[in-house]
Amino acid sequence: MALKTSVKVSKVGNLHDARYCAGMGVDMIGIPVSEGMEGYIPSENFTEIVGWLAGVKYVGEITSVDVEKLGEYKLDYIEATTSAEVEQLKALGTPIILKLEEVLERPAEVEELLAKYESEVAFFILELKEIPSGAEEGWLAGLSEKYSVWLKGAINVENVHEVLDTFSPKGLVLTGSEEIKTGVNDFDALADVLEALDTDEYA
């Protein structure tokens, strides 16, 4: 399955979900690697998961920086959420992704951070509460043209093509499935978007 754009799926907390994402053509899977995170995967379990998969890259998702512990994981990227974390993570030498939340509420700060860290991170994730319109639409489209931007949030099967056509991001970030009961996950929403991005389906 080939997708129309690059896709990262975040909060992948077990082998079953990871294999599902790999099979659907996802480029990157986000692994919770800070203790206490929902779906946290210890380094030894991560190594087992990696042994079963091929063709995907692994993004360490964190809530705090523990350089020694992060060094136990063979990650392709680490996802920071603050400028302070970016500075701390430089010591590892692993490519860094900077995720920024509530971007429409703080445009000046977001532009400043993108300009400051453009040469220091692999790419940016801009998380949206809603898909912008009007002046905000033009602002976001401009950022996507100038910087390496991936979009997250408010993306669904109804608007995914419009998001790609309007903003031309380098990729999309989707969220892993919700566990509806122990050992049973609901992949419907995620699967719908991935199937809509299938190049065989996209017209």
Q: Please, are residues 155 and 172 in contact by the beta-carbon 8 Å criterion?
A: yes
Q: Please, are residues 77 and 122 in contact by the beta-carbon 8 Å criterion?
A: yes
CA distance 163 to 173: 12
Measured CA to CA in angstroms, residue 107 lies from 25, 98, 110, 136, 137 at distances of: 33, 16, 5, 9, 12
Measured CA to CA in angstroms, residue 31 lies from 13, 26, 41, 127, 179 at distances of: 6, 14, 7, 18, 16
| Share above pLDDT 70 across residues of the chain, in percent, rounded to a whole number | 93
Place 186 in a pLDDT band, splitting at 50, 70 and 90.
Answer: low
In the chain, % helix, strand, coil (3-state, to 5) comes to 40, 25, 40
pTM for the model stands at 0.92
CA distance 125 to 147: 11
pLDDT tens-place string over residues 125-150: 999 999 999 999 999 999 999 999 99
User: What is the token pair recorded at 165?
Assistant: 């056509």
Q: Please, are residues 140 and 152 in contact by the beta-carbon 8 Å criterion?
A: no
* pLDDT reported for residue 1: 74
**Number of helices (H), then strands (E), in the chain:** 8, 10
pLDDT tens-place string over residues 5-61: 999 999 998 888 899 999 999 999 999 999 999 889 999 999 999 999 999 999 999
Tell me what the pLDDT averaged over the chain comes to.
91
